[in-house]
Amino acid sequence: MRAAPTWAEARLWELLRGRRLEGLKFRRQAPIGRFVADFVCYRHRLIIEADGPFHDGEADVARDAWLSSQGFRILRFPNAMIAGDTGAVLGAIQRAIEVQNPSPLAGEGGGEADG
């Protein structure tokens, strides 16, 4: 998927990469257990998913339950929302970040500069 991301994933990555959002470090296509998250901010234990039209709702529920049991929060955005209202997408991500303080076990070096 890294070599050929969907257009929604590519757009979202443009908004998140290089600490462009609140100075936070996001990784893309990050393996977590047996799953691969589209984007993850380990410091805030936040996973961002870009959902295309062919998502399996039952599989997503099971996947999200396991990821939640590991301490992650998951935000899912339909591709149409990413295309049509990036401001709302970024606003939702910022609100999710504000709700929870950073994890001291985030594994990104522990310094403020690590976002």
- 109 pLDDT tier (thresholds 50, 70, 90): very low
Structure tokens at 56: 């399996």
| Three-state secondary structure string covering the chain | CCCCCCHHHHHHHHHHHHHCCCCCCCEEEEEECCEEEEEEEHHHCEEEEEECCCCCHHHHHHHHHHHHHCCCEEEEEEHHHHHHCHHHHHHHHHHHHHHCCCCCCCCCCCCHHHC
Q: Where in the chain are the domains? A: 7-98
What is the model's pTM? 0.82
**Superfamily (CATH) of domain 7-98:** VSR Endonuclease (3.40.960.10)
* Residue percentage of the chain with pLDDT more than 70: 83
**Quick one: pLDDT at residue 96?**
94
* pLDDT: which is higher, 41 or 108: 41
Q: What is the mean pLDDT of residues 42-58?
A: 88
